[in-house]
C-alpha cells in the first residue's frame, strides 16, 4: 500500500517551498506557521519571513516587537513569539537532540523537523495522517510522511473522501464511506480571540494608552508576553 502511495505522490505531490530545502530552521518556520493555518496563507508569509530572517542567527537577534509585527495576520501570535524564543535557544546552544525542548515545539512539530530536515525515522502524525491510517488500517513509515499529508489534504478528506481518485482505494476497507460533519471551530467573529487580535494589531501599529484599549484583552496578551504595560500601568507597548 505504501508503494502505491509513493507512486501517486511522485506524480501528484504539491510543490511547496519548504519541500525544496533541508535547512532545519526553514522547515521549523514552515511547521510553526502551518499550525492551524492554511497552506495557501502560509506560502507568501513563509517566503517573506525567510527573506527578512534567513537564518536562526538572524532571527535570534531580532526584537520581539519586530517578530510580532511580522507575524500579524497569521493568527495565534504566541507561535511567532515561541519561534523567536526557539531561535534564540538554538543560536545559543545549538539544535537539541530532543526538539521538544524548544519553545512551542510539540511531538508533531519535532517529528516533522526530525524527518524533513535531519532524515530521522520519525513519522509526524497530524490529523490527516491519523485519518488515513485509521481508514486504511495500515501503519505507514517515515518516508511516506509528505505523501500522507498531501493525500489527506486533497483526496482522503475528512467528511467526503474522494475515493474515486484515491491510489489506495482498491485496498482500503473504508472505500465509499461518508462521515459525519466534524465539529467546527468556534467562531472567530465576536470572540475573545478576535478581541485579542484587534488589540494586538493596534499596539503593533503604535504604543497606546491602556484607557483606549480592551483591558481584558491587554491582560491576556501581557500574560503571553505579547505586550507590556509601562508608565505605571498606563501605556501598552510591544515587548
For the stretch 33-76, pLDDT in tens is: 999 899 999 999 999 999 999 999 999 999 999 999 999 989 88
Return the CATH number of the domain spanning residue range 23-116.
1.10.340.30
Mean pLDDT along residues 10-25: 97
Q: Is the pLDDT of residue 186 over 80?
A: no
Q: With cut-offs at 50, 70 and 90, classify the pLDDT of residue 189.
A: confident
For residues 18 and 109, the answer to whether their CB atoms sit within 8 Å is no
Question: Catalytic annotation on 31?
Answer: yes
Which among 31, 40, 207, 219 is annotated as catalytic? 31
- Report the Cα 166 to chain-centroid distance in Å: 26
Q: What is the pLDDT of residue 85?
A: 97
Give ranges for CATH 1.10.340.30 in the chain: 23-116
Q: What is the pLDDT of residue 20?
A: 97
Diameter of the chain measured on Cα atoms: 68
Q: How do residues 123-135 score in pLDDT, each as one tens digit?
A: 999 999 999 999 9
Q: With cut-offs at 50, 70 and 90, classify the pLDDT of residue 183.
A: low
Residues 6+ apart with CB under 8 A from 99: 105, 109, 110, 113, 114
Q: What is the pLDDT of residue 215?
A: 92
Comparing CA positions, the residue from 143, 135, 156, 112 lying closest to residue 7 is 143
Backbone Cα Rg of the chain: 20
Between vectors from CA 131 to CA 18 and to CA 133, what angle results, nearest 5°? 95
Q: What is the pLDDT of residue 208?
A: 92
Q: What is the pLDDT of residue 119?
A: 96
Continuous segment of H or E residues that includes residue 178: none
Q: What is the pLDDT of residue 68?
A: 96
For residues 59 and 67, the answer to whether their CB atoms sit within 8 Å is yes
- pTM > 0.85: yes or no: yes
Please give the torsion angle defined by the CA atoms of residues 200, 206, 207 and 208, in that order, rounded to the nearest 10 degrees.
-80
Task: Please report where in the chains the cell 517566503 appears, as a residue.
Answer: 47
Q: What is the pLDDT of residue 8?
A: 97
Residues 6+ apart with CB under 8 A from 191: none
Amino acid at each position: 500500500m505504501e508503494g502505491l502511495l509513493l507512486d501517486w505522490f511522485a506524480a501528484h505531490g504539491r510543490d511547496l517551498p519548504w519541500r525544496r530545502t533541508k535547512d532545519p530552521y526553514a522547515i521549523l518556520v514552515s511547521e510553526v506557521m502551518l499550525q492551524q493555518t492554511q497552506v495557501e496563507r502560509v506560502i507568501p508569509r513563509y517566503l517573506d519571513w525567510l527573506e527578512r530572517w534567513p537564518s536562526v542567527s538572524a532571527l535570534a537577534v531580532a526584537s520581539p516587537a519586530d517578530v510580532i509585527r511580522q507575524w500579524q495576520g497569521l493568527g495565534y501570535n504566541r507561535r511567532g513569539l515561541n519561534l523567536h524564543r526557539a531561535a534564540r535557544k538554538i543560536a545559543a546552544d545549538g539544535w537539541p537532540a530532543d526538539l521538544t525542548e524548544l519553545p512551542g515545539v510539540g511531538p508533531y512539530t519535532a517529528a516533522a523537523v526530525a524527518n524533513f530536515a535531519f532524515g530521522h525515522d520519525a513519522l509526524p502524525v497530524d490529523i490527516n495522517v491519523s485519518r488515513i491510517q485509521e481508514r486504511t488500517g495500515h501503519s505507514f513509515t517515515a518516508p511516506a510522511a509528505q505523501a500522507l499529508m498531501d493525500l489527506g489534504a486533497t483526496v482522503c478528506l475528512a467528511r467526503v473522501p474522494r475515493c474515486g481518485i484515491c491510489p489506495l482505494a482498491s485496498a482500503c476497507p473504508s472505500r465509499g464511506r461518508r462521515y459525519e460533519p466534524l465539529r467546527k471551530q468556534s467562531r472567530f467573529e465576536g470572540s475573545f480571540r478576535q478581541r485579542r487580535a484587534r488589540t494586538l494589531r493596534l499596539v503593533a501599529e503604535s504604543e497606546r494608552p491602556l484607557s483606549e484599549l480592551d483591558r481584558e484583552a491587554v491582560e491576556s496578551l501581557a500574560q503571553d508576553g505579547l505586550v507590556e504595560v509601562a508608565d505605571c500601568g498606563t501605556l501598552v507597548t510591544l515587548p
